[in-house]
Amino acid sequence: MKAVVAGAGIGGVTAALALIRAGWDVEVLERAPELGEVGAGLSIAPNALRALDSLGIGEKVRAAATPSQAAYNLCVPSGERLRRFDPAHDTPLSCFHRADLHRLLAAELPDGVVRTGCAVHSVTEDGEVVHDAGRVTADLVVGADGIHSAVREALWPGITPRFRCTVWRGVTEPGVEEAGTFTFGRGAYFLAHPIGGERVYWALAVHERRPGVRYADDLAEVRRRVRGWHVEPLLDATPKVLHNDVTDLPPLPAYVRGRVALLGDAAHAMAPDLGQGACQAIEDAVTLAAVGLEGYDRARLARTRGIARMARRKGAMALTTSRLGYALNRLGMRAPAAVIRKQTEKLWSWTPPTARAAG
């Protein structure tokens, strides 16, 4: 059984690995000239670690991760803690630089599986893929090519990403200590994760009325927006800042059409406010390999739609500019710890289906 995966990001590489483990002959087509992952940091929650366990690499991923307490260390700009991580009851997130996690996953693939510098141009429902080097027909085509997916556009045309907010991201130089914090301001929040090597990944998300607003000096703009916040020392240690608009997708009616399936951001790009973007791509990958095309929508549509909706709602609340909304956010952060754990349990308790052999 032949599978072609469009896109060699974290979701695409995980899908390739899961399909190979299930007995498929896999080829990954990546438009970039070199295999790698752009961006800054990310967190992996227990649900995604459980998915990686099913591929036999969960312990390797855990060993390479840096634990972060950010999901429970909740602050206001002054640095006052409204909630603190409880090591006896709270579960840390596993954090990485995106490139480090991607490198670890890609190293599990056999040589020759990934073809770089090869963009996909068109896909048909019967599995015919036209790309830079020619064409191929597959029993399964996986669209793991991101929010601007060529695979999705070919078979689900007209799906337009929706603007949510704007975000600055950075990684400090080595030598910074940070346990992980989430700081709520009015109309903005600041997330900080340790990612190993005495480095810290941080992200500042802010409410913005329209996309495309840019600044001559992004680091200076971040400094202006968090002036007086307890996080300013992290900026002093940051040499470079990335600035991107955050978008998500409206819900698709299905992720499968003929021999083609979408996963990750190509299927359900979501706001980052639950830290589940990469986690859901990893879940998608192992589920597709386990249940096949006929069971994929049944296994994934309801869960991913619900998480995307929850992330969108949480993002709108976290970035509210109203005084009342901000006061309610602060009040919510003081809710009993059991309430917070119950919320994360809904996301983190997922278990992967049992894999089956190709064909």
Per-residue pLDDT band at 357 (split at 50, 70, 90): low
Q: What is the pLDDT of residues 135-165, one digit of tens each?
A: 999 999 999 999 999 999 999 999 999 999 9
Strand order through the sheet with 134-137? 120-123, 128-131, 134-137
CA atoms within 13 A on the CB side of 31: 15
Regarding predicted confidence, which is higher, 36 or 42?
Answer: 42
Residue 340 corresponds to which amino acid? I
CB 15 within 8 A of CB 289: yes
Return the residue matching tokens 């019967």: 126
β-strands 162-171, 241-248 pairing = antiparallel
Token reading at 312? 């969108």
CATH number corresponding to 2-348? 3.50.50.60
Per-residue pLDDT band at 334 (split at 50, 70, 90): confident
For residues 48-70, average pLDDT: 97
CB 274 within 8 A of CB 347: yes
What is the distance between the alpha carbons of residues 100 and 166, in angstroms, rounded to a whole number?
25
**% of the chain beyond a pLDDT of 70:** 98
Residues with Cβ < 8 Å from 202, sequence gap 6 or more? 169, 170, 171, 172, 190, 191, 192, 193, 231, 234, 238
Q: Enter the pTM of the model.
A: 0.95
How would you label 194-209 residue by residue, b for 16+ Cβ within 10 Å and e otherwise? bbbeebbbbbbbbbbe
Q: What's the pLDDT at 136?
A: 96
Round to the nearest angstrom and report the end-to-end CA distance of the chain: 6
Pick from 215-224, 297-306, 328-337: least confident: 328-337
What is the distance between the alpha carbons of residues 154 and 259, in angstroms, rounded to a whole number?
13
Pick from 100-104, 329-333, 355-359: least confident: 355-359
Q: What is the pLDDT of residues 242-267, one digit of tens each?
A: 999 999 999 999 999 999 999 999 99
What is the distance between the alpha carbons of residues 318 and 190, in angstroms, rounded to a whole number?
10
Q: What's the pLDDT at 356?
A: 62
Q: Write a three-state SS string for the chain.
A: CEEEEECCCHHHHHHHHHHHHCCCEEEEECCCCCCCCCCCEEEECHHHHHHHHCCCCHHHHHHHCEEECCCCCEECCCCCEEECCCCCCCCCEEEEEHHHHHHHHHCCCCCCCEECCCCEEEECCCCEEEECCEEEECCEEEECCCCCCHHHHHHCCCCCCEEEEEEEEEECCCCCCCCCEEEEECCEEEEEEEEECCEEEEEEEECCCCCCCCCCCHHHHHHHHCCCCCCHHHHHCCCCEEEEEEEECCCCCCCEECCEEECCHHHHCCCHHHCCHHHHHHHHHHHHHHHHHHHHHHHHHHHHHHHHHHHHHHHHHHCCCCHHHHHHHHHHHCCCHHHHHHHHHHHHCCCCCCCCCCC
Per-residue pLDDT band at 60 (split at 50, 70, 90): very high
Q: What's the pLDDT at 176?
A: 95
Q: What is the pLDDT of residues 111-133, one digit of tens each?
A: 999 999 999 999 999 999 999 99
Domains of the chain: which residue ranges?
Answer: 2-348
Q: What is the largest CA-CA distance in the chain?
A: 60
CB 3 within 8 A of CB 142: yes
Q: What is the mean pLDDT of the chain?
A: 95
What is the distance between the alpha carbons of residues 82 and 25, in angstroms, rounded to a whole number?
51
